[in-house]
Amino acid sequence: MAADAAMVSLFKAELELCKVGPGQTMAVLSEGEVRADYAQAFLTAGQQLGATTFHINLPPKLQFGGFAGNMGKTSLAGNRPAIEALKGADIVIDLMFLLFSEEQLEITNSGTRMLLVLEPVEVLTRMFPNAELRRRVEVGASLLKNGKVMRITSPHGTDVTYRLGAYPVMTEYGFTDSPGRWDHWPSGFMFTGAHDDGVNGQVVMGPGDIICAFRRYVESPVKFTIEKGYVTNVEGTGLEASLIRNYMKSFNDKRAYAISHIGWGLNDRADWHHMAVADPQKEIGMDALAYYGNVLFSTGPNSELGGTNDTPCHLDMPLRGCTLTLDGELIVKDGEVVPKELRAPGR
Nearest distance from C-beta of residue 316 to Fe ion, angstroms: 4
Q: Rounded to whole angstroms, how far apart are CA atoms 236 and 154?
A: 17
- The residue range among 15-23, 57-65, 130-138, 291-299 that interacts with Fe ion, by the rule CB under 5 A, is 291-299
Figure out which of the listed residues 31, 183, 283, 316 binds Fe ion, where binding follows CB under 5 A: 316
Give whichever of 28 and 259 is closer to Fe ion, judged by the CB atom. 259
Give whichever of 183 and 316 is closer to Fe ion, judged by the CB atom. 316
Size of the site for Fe ion (CB under 5 A): 2
The amino acid that residue 126 corresponds to is R
Nearest distance from C-beta of residue 173 to Fe ion, angstroms: 16
- The residue range among 12-20, 59-67, 112-120, 296-304 that interacts with Fe ion, by the rule CB under 5 A, is 296-304
- How far, rounded to the nearest angstrom, does the alpha carbon of residue 35 sit from its chain's CA centroid? 19
The amino acid that residue 188 corresponds to is G
- How far, rounded to the nearest angstrom, does the alpha carbon of residue 60 sit from its chain's CA centroid? 23
- The residue range among 50-58, 197-205, 250-258, 314-322 that interacts with Fe ion, by the rule CB under 5 A, is 314-322
- How far, rounded to the nearest angstrom, does the alpha carbon of residue 321 sit from its chain's CA centroid? 20
Nearest distance from C-beta of residue 334 to Fe ion, angstroms: 24
Nearest distance from C-beta of residue 189 to Fe ion, angstroms: 10
Is residue 304 within the footprint of Fe ion (CB under 5 A)? no
Give whichever of 158 and 298 is closer to Fe ion, judged by the CB atom. 298
Nearest distance from C-beta of residue 298 to Fe ion, angstroms: 5
For residue 299, the SS3 value is strand
Reported as type and span, the H/E element at residue 211 is strand 210-211
Q: Rounded to whole angstroms, how far apart are CA atoms 249 and 257?
A: 9
Q: Where are the alpha helices (DSSP H) in 33-188?
A: 36-48, 80-87, 102-109, 121-126, 131-146
Nearest distance from C-beta of residue 205 to Fe ion, angstroms: 16
In this structure, the strands spanning 329-333 and 336-337 are: antiparallel
Q: Do 182 and 212 meet the contact criterion of CB atoms below 8 Å apart?
A: no
Give whichever of 11 and 185 is closer to Fe ion, judged by the CB atom. 185
Give whichever of 221 and 300 is closer to Fe ion, judged by the CB atom. 300
Q: Which residues bind Fe ion (CB under 5 A)?
A: 298, 316
